[in-house]
Chain A
Amino acid sequence: MEKSNTNALIRLFFDLGIPLGMLIGTYITGRIIDRSRVKFLNQKEEELNYIRYTTQKMLPGTDNVASAQLVSGTVVVANNYFKQFLSSFRNIFGGEMKSYSILLEHARRMAMVRMLEEARDIDSDAVVNVRLETSSIQGNNQKKGAAGVEVIAYGTALIRR
């Protein structure tokens, strides 16, 4: 009698305890990661805001150009377990998946920052024809769907004479 009780407890721990622990754990780490990421992005964008960029082919006031070079920035991101869990409910009722919107917004900003850093490294202060592309990367586990979302930002950095 007692043995089956402990067995049931152990089963309960594995069935409920681990997912619950993962939910709480990833909720906490997710908040910390989010906060540091926003801080990092704000700081980097501040640092790089002297570089102008546009989706147009030409930027006014950038004559005197000697040459140009392709610059790009890539990032692959994933939502944490807690947010994936919440989003699965959203999937039932419909509506905006806010956590994914925010994740992708941050990913895009990150890709842009990396692109601008590449432009900075070649002493450019203007990037034209910027394009942003998103695609989902599949993991080894096909059932789980996408392992991550890739965002790439690329454009042409103008090099002054």
Chain B
Amino acid sequence: MIIVNTETIPGKTIVEVKGMVQGNTVRAKHIGRDIAASFKNIVGGELKGYTELLVDSRRQAMERMIAQANELRANAIVNVRFATSSITAGAAELYVYGTAVVVSE
């Protein structure tokens, strides 16, 4: 599966557009990590716990998007966009969407 955020894939041509695919996940950090992050909030700098959480969640959202694309028998996803929003206290939603296409050399 080729995933890009440009409209076309350099070196390949799009032969068929399958439609929009998306993946989302809302994840919360367990309380231990959240407490650690709130201490880190006093010191400042990078909140490693949250960074890890978001990287993991984004990967999960991407996997869901890829699963949808596989179902459509696409072999690439173009024009991928990321969006993050905070839904409720201690949780964030990660949303990934793009267009599933079939490409050939």
Contact = CB atoms under 8 A, between A and B. Distances in A.
Contact of B82 (A80, A133, A138, A140): A133
A50 B82 CA distance: 26
Contacts of B55: 74
Interface string A136-161: 11111110001110101011101001
B10 A74 contact: no
Q: Which of A65, A70, A133 gathers most chain B CB within 10 Å?
A: A70
Interface size class of A (residues with CB under 8 A): 35 or more
Interface stretch (A1-9, A26-34, A90-98): A26-34
A135 B86 contact: yes
B20 interface: no
Interface of A: 22, 26, 29-30, 33, 37, 57-58, 62, 65-70, 72, 74-81, 83, 103, 110, 128-129, 131, 133, 135-142, 146-148, 150, 152, 154-156, 158, 161
Interface of B: 2-7, 9-12, 31, 34, 37-38, 40-47, 50-51, 54-55, 58, 80-86, 88-92
